[in-house]
Chain A
């Protein structure tokens, strides 16, 4: 039995290795051999602007391209100061992300090449990181994917000093894979939500806006998430948290109440709603919610206990009883 299992395993590994060996670019292979029926054979975003790269400034040039396409008035020179690291003669991925956030846009990660192609088909240019050289001697380069042709097996990039660089799809698969398919699309807080975005990746990008203190943009992005994922509670909780930070208590209460109606056992909703109700001087309701939060338990129990103690000790509440 053990022997048979091992033989099977070795055979499976052999097949996997052999198949992987004959197709070093499996994604190009699959996409061109059997294109998904819902994907257009070709697309090119001709209106995406171009900024020629100077010196090592491929990061600022690529980000300016993507931001400008999203309606932000910017140039590579304007960005270079904020995102270029002279010591490295280049731009780090995190700097691309923060550069996007500082301009009030969401940086949505694109997981893999198929999603990248799909984004282009949808009208969104994709900022991609490539390793143009080999792994032991990396040569990093940012470019913007703006077109593809499944029949000709080519892609079009805004890259370096070339406005319309056409290369083999296989070449992009190699160079992009060497950068672990790191890529983003730039989205507006009011939407539309790119199809690569999962609810979590959209909310994480919105949290990025909070981190650079763009609260209004973050709020807008969270509200967009409520419309896109109406059954989920996370966008409602996130929206309410911004409203709490801004001191807009009445709105925070109504948004959290909506979340509570969707899920009455979530300790986060119960705890946060208790705090908001307390602030709104609705003491009895606040206490009921805080008690329910403590009863629900979970990793935030200590905070819920705190909330309950605060509600019970609040002077405003003793007056009303």
Chain B
């Protein structure tokens, strides 16, 4: 009996310390919207404006046109992408030389690469196999 109580209290202690170490950040009041959500929203909005700014660049619009894609239509389709897809695109743009304001002939190659990636994702082109996610008709 004593043992049982003892082991129970040990278990409670262990659970309590575990709960404390993984407890998420909860504001003092239940109906306050916390910083996790604030940042999630901000981050999604940021990624969208990064991609939009990229799509509005003169050189990028010219690139879309040279591929036979209407840049305005491409921008509209980007607006319909999910937050996760847009975040992925924004990351690729930011970490590429084309996203860091390096405008040389080498930058142009990288630019074409990213534009093709976007047109692939939007279904205008099919250059990269890896953007073909879960197609209904295999082969």
Binding site for B on A (CB under 8 A): 4-5, 8-9, 12-13, 15-16, 19-20, 23, 26-27, 29-31, 33-34, 36, 111-112, 114-115, 180-181, 198-200, 203-204, 207, 210-211, 234, 237-238, 241-242, 244-245, 247, 268, 271-272, 275, 279, 300, 303-304, 306-307, 310
Contact = CB atoms under 8 A, between A and B. Distances in A.
A27 B106 CA distance: 8
Nearest to A270: B33
Interface stretch (B5-13, B70-78, B107-115): B107-115
B24 to A, nearest CB: 8
Contact of B94 (A26, A111, A234): A111
Given A9-B67, A36-B102, A112-B95, A19 B109 contact: yes
B33 A207 contact: no
A23 B106 CA distance: 7
B53 to A, nearest CB: 12
B112 A16 contact: yes
Contacts of B16: none
A199 B97 contact: no
A249 B8 CA distance: 39
A16 B42 contact: no
B116 A13 contact: yes
B32 to A, nearest CB: 5
Interface in B13-41: 25, 27-39, 41
**Among A115, A198, A234, residue most surrounded by chain B Cβ atoms (within 10 Å):** A234
Interface residues of B, number: 43
Give the 6 A-B residue pairs with the shortest CB-CB distance, closest first.
A19-B109, A5-B68, A30-B102, A16-B112, A114-B100, A112-B95
A215 to B, nearest CB: 9
A118 B135 CA distance: 42
A199 B31 contact: no
Contacts of B28: 244-245, 247
B97 A303 contact: no
**Among B27, B31, B91, residue most surrounded by chain A Cβ atoms (within 10 Å):** B31
B109 A234 contact: no
A203 B42 contact: yes
